[in-house]
């Protein structure tokens, strides 16, 4: 195992972001970047490092009275003519700059330089967040080594414009299937066209009125959309089946079971098959740990936004660990070809986390 040239945890966070971006790590191809991260972290004597697959965990053991997790995924969506990285006028461009190697760089900088934090720290850099949940490194870690994720609070460094984003919406995907009867297309009246039958499914989606509940003072915005359609047998055959793939993004006041019940009823009497599901996470702004974090990094107005996309905040919530999203980058740029991140946000996230994690160390030591 070797560290790719230039992966240096003493470099500033922007330089480190570029180094990470330039290691291609599309989902299921994270070995090179995980190798680099593991070797770099093992060189730090104050951390104990564990690796599971292409997920790397590093922990302090300072005997503090509380523990905080900083987590980020190492994978990206597929390349779209947006590598290598480039820096122009204070903006870093390239695949993963926003989602979420800027956040990963901040995690690594904190891991390398904050050696006497107020809390014990756990750093988790994991694989396969961008694809089906069965591959998700954080999920697999919670099953194989749940003790590594025990904590009092977690910060998931997903892009949030360097503002706290609370909770997250859940997501599920279903296949809505229409059925017909095959026939020769020259005698189409002797069959039933399943693709034509899907028009009713699309009409319902077109007429969908999004639910927008307010939870802990934050307004969420649900979405129900076709994301794929398939059908057809041959160019001269009336198709007997058509499948519309639908993604439902549901507010965190609904469980996965309630979300599936809604979608099933919405499309009744069509055949609905669940293909993937992950729960949302309530904001939890009433939790003391969340309040303390918001007070520290929320700025003078304590601004907090709702998280519309699904993130692994939901997994921490399931484990009983209060968690928020907080990282550099505009989440609306995630997965876009023009993905980029302002240098200022990377630097600000690092500084605010550093201040939060070190404030009070001197007083704690003096009182001891």
348 against 3, higher pLDDT? 348
Q: For 161-206, how does the pLDDT look when each residue is reduced to its tens digit (9 = 90+)?
A: 999 999 899 999 999 999 999 999 999 999 999 999 999 999 999 9
Q: Which residues contact 321 (CB under 8 A, 6 or more apart)?
A: 69, 149, 150, 151, 152, 153, 154
pLDDT confidence bin for 297, thresholds 50/70/90 = confident
pLDDT (average), residues 79-92: 97
| C-alpha distance across the termini of the chain, in Å | 42
Distance CA 255, CA 261 (A): 10
DSSP SS3 for 237:
strand
Partners of 278 in the β-ladder: 171
| pLDDT at residue 59 is higher than 70 | yes
Rounded to 5 degrees, φ, ψ at 152 are: -95, -20
Q: How far apart are CA 75 and CA 3, in angstroms?
A: 17
pLDDT of amino acid 44: 96
| Residue pair 283/216 in contact by the 8 Å Cβ criterion | yes
Half-sphere exposure of 34 (CA within 13 A, CB side): 25
Q: Binning pLDDT at 50, 70 and 90, where does residue 55 land?
A: very high
Percent of the chain with pLDDT over 70: 95
User: Among candidates 116, 41, 114, which has minimal Cα distance to 74?
Assistant: 41
Whether residue 120 is predicted with pLDDT greater than 70 in this model: the reply is yes
Q: What is the reported pLDDT for 209? A: 97
Give the CA angle between residues 205, 206, 209 to the nearest 5°. Answer: 80
Task: Give 32's DSSP letter.
Answer: H
- As a whole number of angstroms, the distance between CA 230 and CA 78 comes to 22
pLDDT at position 4 is 47
pLDDT digits (tens, 9 = 90+) for 202-212: 999 999 999 99
Instruction: Name the 3-class secondary structure at 118.
Output: coil
Give the rounded percent of residues in the chain with a pLDDT score beyond 90.
83
Q: What is the pLDDT of residues 144-158, one digit of tens each?
A: 999 999 999 999 999
101 or 297: which leads in pLDDT = 101
Domains of the chain: 13-168+281-367 (3.40.630.10), 170-278 (3.30.70.360)
Whether this model's pTM surpasses 0.85: no
Q: Give dist(CA 24, CA 213) in Å, integer.
A: 39
Return mean pLDDT, the chain: 92
Structure-token pair, residue 360? 């009070």
Closest CA to 221 of 251, 262, 259, 263: 251
Long-range CB contact pairs, 129-133, < 8 A, 24+: 129/27, 129/73, 129/75, 129/312, 130/27, 130/73, 130/75, 130/76, 130/77, 131/27, 131/28, 131/75, 132/276, 133/276, 133/277, 133/278
In angstroms, the CA 162 to CA 330 distance is: 8
Are 322 and 313 within 8 A, CB to CB? no
Helices (H) and strands (E) in the chain, counts: 11, 19
* Catalytic residue list: 75, 129
pLDDT for 359: 86
């Amino acid at each position: 195992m070797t560290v790719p040239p230039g992966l240096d945890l003493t470099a500033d966070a922007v330089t480190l972001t570029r180094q990470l971006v330039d290691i291609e790590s599309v989902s299921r191809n994270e070995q090179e970047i995980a190798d680099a991260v593991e070797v770099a972290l093992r060189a730090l004597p104050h951390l104990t490092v564990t690796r599971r697959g292409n997920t790397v965990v590093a922990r302090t053991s300072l005997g503090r009275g509380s523990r905080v997790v900083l987590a980020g995924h190492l994978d990206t969506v597929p390349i779209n003519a947006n590598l290598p990285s480039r820096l122009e006028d204070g903006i870093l461009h390239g695949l993963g700059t926003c989602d979420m190697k800027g956040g990963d760089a901040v995690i690594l900088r904190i891991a390398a330089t904050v050696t006497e934090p107020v809390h014990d720290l756990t750093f988790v850099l994991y694989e396969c967040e961008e694809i089906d949940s069965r591959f998700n490194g954080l999920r697999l870690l919670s099953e194989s080594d749940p003790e590594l994720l025990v904590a009092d609070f977690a910060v998931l460094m997903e892009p949030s414009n360097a503002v706290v984003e609370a909770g997250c919406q859940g997501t599920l995907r279903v296949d809505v299937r229409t059925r017909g009867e095959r026939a020769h297309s020259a005698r189409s009246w002797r069959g039933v066209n399943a693709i034509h039958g899907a028009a009713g499914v699309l009409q319902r989606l077109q007429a969908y009125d999004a639910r927008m509940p307010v939870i802990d003072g934050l307004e969420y915005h649900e979405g129900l959309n076709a994301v794929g359609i398939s059908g057809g047998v041959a160019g001269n055959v009336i198709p007997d089946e058509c499948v519309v793939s639908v993604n439902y993004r549901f507010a965190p006041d609904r469980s996965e079971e309630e979300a599936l019940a809604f979608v099933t009823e919405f499309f009744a009497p069509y055949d609905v098959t669940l293909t993937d599901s992950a729960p949302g996470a309530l904001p939890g702004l009433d939790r003391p740990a969340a309040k303390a974090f918001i007070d520290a990094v929320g700025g003078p107005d304590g601004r907090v936004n709702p998280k519309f996309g699904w993130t692994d905040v939901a997994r921490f919530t399931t484990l009983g660990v209060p968690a928020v999203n907080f990282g550099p980058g505009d989440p609306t740029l995630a997965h876009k070809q023009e993905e980029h991140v302002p240098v200022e946000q990377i630097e600000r996230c690092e500084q605010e986390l550093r201040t939060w994690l070190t404030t009070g160390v001197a007083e704690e030591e003096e009182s001891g």
